[in-house]
Structures are given as C-alpha cells and as structure tokens.
Amino acid sequence: MHSTHGIEIKMDSGKELSSKHIRLEIAGFVFLTFTGYLVIGFSLAVLPVFIHHTLGYSTVVAGIVISLQYVTTFLTRGYSGKIVDLRGPKPVVLISMSSFAVSGVLLAFSGVFSSNPLLCLSILIITRLVTGCAEGMIGASPVNWAMLKAGEEHTATAISYNGIASYGALAIGAPLGVLLADRIGLTGIGIIIILIASFGYVTANRKKALKENKTSQRQPFFKVLKTVSPFGICLALGGLGFGAISTFITLYYQYMKWPNGALCLTVFGILFILGRVFFSKMIDRYGGLKVSIVSLAFEVLGLLILWQAKSPSIALAGAAVTGLGFSLIFPALGVEAVKLVAPSNKGSALAGYGLFIDISLGVTGPLVGAVADHLGMLHIYQVSAAIVFTGFIIAIVILYRMKRRLVVA
C-alpha cells in the first residue's frame, strides 16, 4: 500500500491513488457542476437587463424573476440530499441535467414571444422555476459523488473544487451569455443550453454509480438542517454580497453609464477561483471558522470599495476583493458543518447547508431591488456590505462559543 503525505489512500478497485490522481478524480465529478452552472450563468447577466429594458418592467420585478429560481432550488435541496444518501448521487445528477434541458427549451420559446411582454415574462418565470429545480439537484450531488470516490478525508478538497467549478462557470457563462444574446438572442441561448445539458447528461450517465454504505442511522432532514444552521446562517449573510453583484451589476453599470458590466462577474469569478486554488489549505491549517471570519472581512471591504467606486476600474477592484473574500466562505463553513453529522447524513448535511445560499440568493433579488427603488442604485452595495458584516459578527460569536465550550469540557 502506498502512503501519500502520511495518508493511506485506496480506490474502490483496490488500486492506489496518488494525490494528483485524487484531484483528477474529484475534478472529473465536479465538471458536472461546471456544466450546470455554465447554463445558469448564460442567463444571469442577460435576463435582468432584458426584463427591465426590453420588456419594460421595474428593477424589483427583474430581481423577483431572477430570484424565483431559488424558490424551487430551496424546495428540491432536501429531496436531492435524501436521494443522494439512499440511492447515490448519479440519479440526482441525471434529473438535474434533464431539467436544465427543459429550461433551455422554455428560454428558447421566451425569445420567440419577446414582443408580448406579459407572455414572455410568464414563460421566463416558469423557466426560472425549472432552472431552480435543476440547481437544487446539481448543487450537492457531484461533490458527494467525488467524496464517495476519493474518501471523506478529502472533503475540503472536494467542496473547494466544487466551488471553483460553480463560480468559475458563472464567471465564464455571464459575459458569454451577454455576447451571445447580442448575436443570437434568447432563443439561440436556449438552444445552446439544451446542447450543454444533453452533453452533461451523457457524461454523467457514463460514470459509475456510487452510494454510501455506512450503517449508521439516518437522521430526519430537518434535524440535520438544525444542526448545520449556525454555519448556514453565516453563509447566507455572506452570500448576499455575491448575489448583489451577480444580479445587479449589469444594471448598476448601466446606471453609472459604464461599459462591460458583465466583466465584473468575470473578475469576481477569477479571484474566487484563485482564492480557492492558493488558500484552500488554510482551512485545514487554521480551521474553518477562523478562515471564514477573515473571508467575510475581505468581502465587506470589497463591497465598500464597489460602493465608493468612481470609475469602472475601481469597481473591478471592488469585485475582485469581494470574489477573493467570498471564495473560501462556503468550504470553510461547510467543513465545520459536515463534521457535526454521521457519514450516512453527509448528503443531507451538504444539501441542508446549501439551502442557506439558496435562501440568500433568493432574498437578494427583491431586497436589493427594493433598496435600488427606495434609496437609489448607488446604495445597493453599501447595504450589502452591512448585511455581510452581520455575518462576520455572527461567525466571531460562534467561534467564541466553541472555544468556551472546549474550555468548559
């Protein structure tokens, strides 16, 4: 048996795995996450502008329609986690890719009826709900698949890689979606989404099905949810900064009369990925809570820079710092959350933990849209920074209580 950095590692076939091979195995599974979030990214920067300017609806309506996706994401997270624990991740991923394909069909139809604002908006609402179902299924499934293949000791690596895949896909998909919308419209984007989702389905179907064989008793989903909720609340508050950028940055740039608003999403995504690549080991070294506290502080700083930006270059710097700050929040808090449950509940734990980012992104659209309507577009990142700062304070309180509990014990 071969030892890598003092850890004995085996594949299910009994063959030894090198550290590099483990990373490649994990990457092969989270590529499915990349496929799903690339589809999500295509419409993320396009639809707010389309709904507001082309269809003529308010920023609040645009924000609500975008956020509707997270309603069905929220509703399907628990179900997907249960299926992952009982039957394994593969069937959940296949359902997800099928749902993404259906969302592509609906998006293509919405482009055909763009001259009828009410009908077009109605189709877009259904599209967002179907997309939310697909995201709820894909959110924790590939990362669980990767953890089953590589082993529980590689949980932090799997979560980090999964985040790189999801936000990297958003960073690529958002500006690419804007570019495609100018040339082929929503109908063309819908057709491309169908092709990408079909490719993801075939790729997932060719992979070996795996499931957890632990005999420990499964807990009800809502009990698992309660266990991971303190970390999830911090995640939700931290996620609002990303939600404010992903949903409103193109409208913010238009308000400021700056070009290339989608570039902010790309810069955010690039720094997000670099943060995961270069600093993810800090989670094992210093602990998830300490890393999340520093990360939340950086995110607050980035949003404040974006709020005070007087030029596109300063705004890009704010998006970069925000992306760097947000990069480690999910895996840092996620590692701490997953530690609290039995192996037979890992799927439900990750699904329940992921619910909080869905809630965050679901609330962001109408909340930030209301801030834009009542306080003005210039204040959306100021308010976002204040909310993320609340998460920073809560993380400090959790760390203090955990240290105090250890001292008492």
Q: What is the pLDDT of residues 342-362, one digit of tens each?
A: 776 777 787 788 778 777 877
pLDDT tier at 407 (50, 70, 90 boundaries)?
A: low
Residue 211: strand, helix, or coil: coil
Using CA atoms, how far apart are residues 117 and 69, in angstroms rounded to an integer? Answer: 19
CA 388 to chain CA mean position, Å: 16
Question: CA dihedral defined by 111, 115, 116, 121, rounded to 10 degrees?
Answer: 40
Using CA atoms, how far apart are residues 23 and 247, in angstroms rounded to an integer? Answer: 32
Q: What is the pLDDT of residue 259?
A: 85
Q: Which two tokens stand for residue 127?
A: 């599209």
Q: What is the pLDDT of residue 284?
A: 81
Question: CA dihedral defined by 249, 255, 256, 262, rounded to 10 degrees?
Answer: 30
pLDDT tier at 8 (50, 70, 90 boundaries)?
A: very low
Sign of CA dihedral 210, 216, 222, 228: negative
Using CA atoms, how far apart are residues 268 and 303, in angstroms rounded to an integer? Answer: 11
| DSSP 8-state class, residue 215 | -
Whole-prediction pTM: 0.72
pLDDT digits (tens, 9 = 90+) for 195-206: 999 999 999 999
pLDDT tier at 243 (50, 70, 90 boundaries)?
A: confident
Strand partners, 7: 4
CA distances from 394 to 21, 74, 107, 336, 399 (A): 38, 23, 40, 15, 9
Counting beta carbons within 10 angstroms of the beta carbon of residue 82, is it exposed (0 to 12), middle (13 to 18) or buried (19 or more)?
Answer: middle
Q: Quick check: 36 and 28 in contact, CB under 8 A? A: no
Strand partners, 10: 16
Using CA atoms, how far apart are residues 180 and 49, in angstroms rounded to an integer? Answer: 14
Q: Does the pLDDT value for residue 133 go beyond 80?
A: yes
pLDDT tier at 395 (50, 70, 90 boundaries)?
A: very high
pLDDT tier at 5 (50, 70, 90 boundaries)?
A: very low
Q: Which two tokens stand for residue 297?
A: 């502080």
Instruction: Considering only the C-alpha atoms of the chain, give the largest distance between any 2 of them, rounded to a whole number of Å.
Output: 67
Report the pLDDT averaged over residues 101-113. 92
CATH code of the domain made up of 16-207+216-408: 1.20.1250.20
Using CA atoms, how far apart are residues 89 and 83, in angstroms rounded to an integer? Answer: 7
